[in-house]
């Protein structure tokens, strides 16, 4: 049977043991050849959703189908690679960069996990692609934030899964690394992969995501970016906290940033963000249909 790369989430909800209902009645479907941005406020349920897709937490309601299989079977069939949030990784664990990338090959290896010539070739290629080949014998804990992200992306590439989940890959990375990551995602999309990426870096979402899901405990809006990434949906999702807007890798408006942010909105039109790359006295976050 030929696998059709897809994610189908139907009426999914998760209530943690402490009684927190993190997500409820979440529904969406994604197909191959997609980069979908998953955006929402802190605590909106993005990481919870990723953990559901990876079978790391139990659903309280609903079901998930990955390429037509339940999650546990899809994982056995090596359908999904996951790049977790940096906070979820124990950086003190002593392991070399090349061995982290080799973990991506585990599902291709036998019981004894002995790396074949092909496994070694694939990890070398993945590390070269991500520009970290010179770091391969370094301890992961010794690397910078951006270098660590590249290592985990190399692990995902080495896994050769058709679906890749990335939980906030741009946090703490510089502009160059962000560009490397975005170009990689585009390349993977164009070769038929399905990528779901959570990000607070809203400024670049229309640039590389052809679909977007707004989430705040449930799906607020989902669909093609051109129709869905609108000021209306941004305001509906973020409400009064629409200040974590980044443009081209820069966080524009942290809590202690006193630069002015102006939002000129027209609810009917797609939101397009543009503004000064360098620090200026005021930054205009605006939208314009002519920028499309």
Ligand X SMILES: Nc1ncnc2c1ncn2[C@@H]1O[C@H](COP(=O)(O)OP(=O)(O)OP(=O)(O)O)[C@@H](O)[C@H]1O
In whole angstroms, the minimum distance from the beta carbon of 249 to ligand X comes to 18
In whole angstroms, the minimum distance from the beta carbon of 45 to ligand X comes to 4
In contact, 31 and 194? CB cutoff 8 Å? yes
For ligand X, give the closer residue by CB, 48 or 67.
48
3 state DSSP class of 203: helix
In whole angstroms, the minimum distance from the beta carbon of 243 to ligand X comes to 14
- Sheet with 61-66: strands ordered across: 21-31, 6-15, 61-66, 69-70
In whole angstroms, the minimum distance from the beta carbon of 42 to ligand X comes to 3
In whole angstroms, the minimum distance from the beta carbon of 195 to ligand X comes to 17
Query: Maximum CA pair distance of the chain?
Result: 60
Q: Residue 110: which H helix or E strand, with range?
A: none
For ligand X, give the closer residue by CB, 88 or 187.
88
For ligand X, give the closer residue by CB, 20 or 109.
20
For ligand X, give the closer residue by CB, 130 or 181.
181
Can you give the binding site for ligand X, defined by CB under 6 A?
16, 18, 20, 22, 40, 42-48
State how far Cα 57 lies from the chain centre. Answer: 18
Please list, in sequence order, all residues whose beta carbon lies within 8 angstroms of the beta carbon of residue 19, skipping any fewer than 6 positions away. Answer: none
3 state DSSP class of 227: helix
Secondary structure percentages of the chain, helix, strand, coil, to 5: 35, 25, 40
For ligand X, give the closer residue by CB, 44 or 146.
44
């Amino acid at each position: 049977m030929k696998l059709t790369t897809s994610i189908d989430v139907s009426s999914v909800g998760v209530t943690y043991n402490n009684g927190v209902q993190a997500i409820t009645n979440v529904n969406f479907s994604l197909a191959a050849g997609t980069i979908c941005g998953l955006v929402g406020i802190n605590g909106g349920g993005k990481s919870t959703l990723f953990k559901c897709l990876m079978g790391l937490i139990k659903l309280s309601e609903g079901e998930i189908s990955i390429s037509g299989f339940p999650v546990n079977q899809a994982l056995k069939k090596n359908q999904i690679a996951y790049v977790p949030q940096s906070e979820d990784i124990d950086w003190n664990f002593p392991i070399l960069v090349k061995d982290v990338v080799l973990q991506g090959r585990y599902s291709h290896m036998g019981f004894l996990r002995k790396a074949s010539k092909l496994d070694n070739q694939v990890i070398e290629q993945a590390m070269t692609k991500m520009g970290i080949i010179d770091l391969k014998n370094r301890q992961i804990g010794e690397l910078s934030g951006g270098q660590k992200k590249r290592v985990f992306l190399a692990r995902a590439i080495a896994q050769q899964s058709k679906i890749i989940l990335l939980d906030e890959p741009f946090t703490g990375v510089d502009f160059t690394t962000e560009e490397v990551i975005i170009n990689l995602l585009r390349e993977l999309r164009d070769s038929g992969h399905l990528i779901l990426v959570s990000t607070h870096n809203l400024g670049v979402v229309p640039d590389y995501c052809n679909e977007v899901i707004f989430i705040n405990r449930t799906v607020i809006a989902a669909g093609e970016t051109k129709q869905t990434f609108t000021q209306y949906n941004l305001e509906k999702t973020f409400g009064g906290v629409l200040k974590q807007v980044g443009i081209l890798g820069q966080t524009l408006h942290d809590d202690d940033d006193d630069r002015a942010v102006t939002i000129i909105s027209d609810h009917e039109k797609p939101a397009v963000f543009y503004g000064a790359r360098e620090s200026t006295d005021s930054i205009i976050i605006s939208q314009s249909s002519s920028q499309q």
